[in-house]
Amino acid sequence: MLDLIELNKRFDRVFDKKQAKVLAEVLVGVYGDLVKAGDFNELKAIVKDLAESQKELAEAQKRTELKVEELAEAQRRTELKVEELAEAQRRTEKELRELVGEHRKTRTQLGGLSMTVGYTLEDKAFKVLPELLKKDYGVIVKERLKRRFILDPKGNPVEANIVGEAQRDGEKVVIVGEGKSQLSKNDVNDFMRRKLKRLEGVFEKIFPVLITYMISEPDVEEYVKGKGIALYYSYDLGS
């Protein structure tokens, strides 16, 4: 800021003292007004910048609120989709339980049908086996073949589908057999495990027999004979 005394000294060299004083005072006043106007312009610029910043903040807030709304809508859609998936899963689980139930029924029915077929084969075998065994193996049946339960060495019942005393080469044997609609290697192993093995301690010598309509694989017949089990097909039993 200009010094009033200094200006007065400078003007005093050119003008008289009154004029120098007036000029100095006027110049100082004008300069002071200029400084105030500059400050005001600077303040206006600051206010303008603040206004621009506020506007930008408002726009950013609007964009943020819009994005939040979009996220909320996306969340609502996701929650709806999750609920739809949960409902679909509940339906699937229900259908699966029903399918499992139907599968159990089907297996039970098939098991019952297989047993019926096996019993039919065995019923025929009761009449024809004595003749076949005598002709093919020299086994002479001494009593009527039948179906009955026999207690194993532990006292547990074993269902013997075909059982009866016989004689072979002067030695006593017991015929143990069963019928299968379609014979597989698993059936053979199952017969040996569930029937023959459990009855080993009951009878001194067992003559095992299996009867079937059809084998499940080409080498099943060879597998059966390799286990020392006699095998007959339904057609061997006659009509």
Domains of the chain plus CATH, in order, are 117-237 (3.40.1350.10)
Q: pLDDT at position 15, please?
A: 74
What's the first-to-final CA gap in the chain, in angstroms?
137
Is residue 69 over pLDDT 70? yes
64 backbone dihedrals φ, ψ, rounded to 5°: -65, -45
Q: pLDDT at position 239, please?
A: 64
Which of residues 7 and 129 earns the better pLDDT score? Answer: 129
Rounded to the nearest integer, the mean pLDDT of the chain is 83
70-85 average pLDDT score: 87
Side chain identity at residue 235, one-letter code: Y
pTM for the predicted model, two decimal places: 0.54
Q: pLDDT at position 68, please?
A: 85
Q: pLDDT at position 142, please?
A: 94
Q: pLDDT at position 107, please?
A: 53
Is residue 102 over pLDDT 70? no
Instruction: Catalogue the E-assigned strands of 33-82.
Output: none
Q: In which band, very low, low, confident or very high, does the pLDDT at 113 lie, cut at 50, 70 and 90?
A: very low
Which of residues 116 and 76 earns the better pLDDT score? Answer: 76
Q: pLDDT at position 95, please?
A: 81
Element (H, E) at 202: none
Residues with Cβ within 8 Å of residue 232, at least 6 apart in sequence: 125, 129, 132, 209, 210, 211, 212
CA separation (Å) from 162 to 52, 170, 224?
A: 103, 22, 17
Min mean pLDDT across 28-42, 52-66, 179-193, 216-230 is at 28-42
Residues with Cβ within 8 Å of residue 163, at least 6 apart in sequence: 145, 146, 147, 148, 150, 174, 175, 176, 177
Q: pLDDT at position 134, please?
A: 96
Q: Is 35 exposed, middle or buried (0-12, 13-18, 19+ CB in 10 A)?
A: exposed
**Dihedral angle, C-alpha 200, 208, 122, 225, nearest 10 °:** 150
Which of residues 115 and 152 earns the better pLDDT score? Answer: 152
* Beta partners for residue 177, in sequence order: 162, 209
Is residue 233 over pLDDT 80? yes
Is residue 123 over pLDDT 50? yes
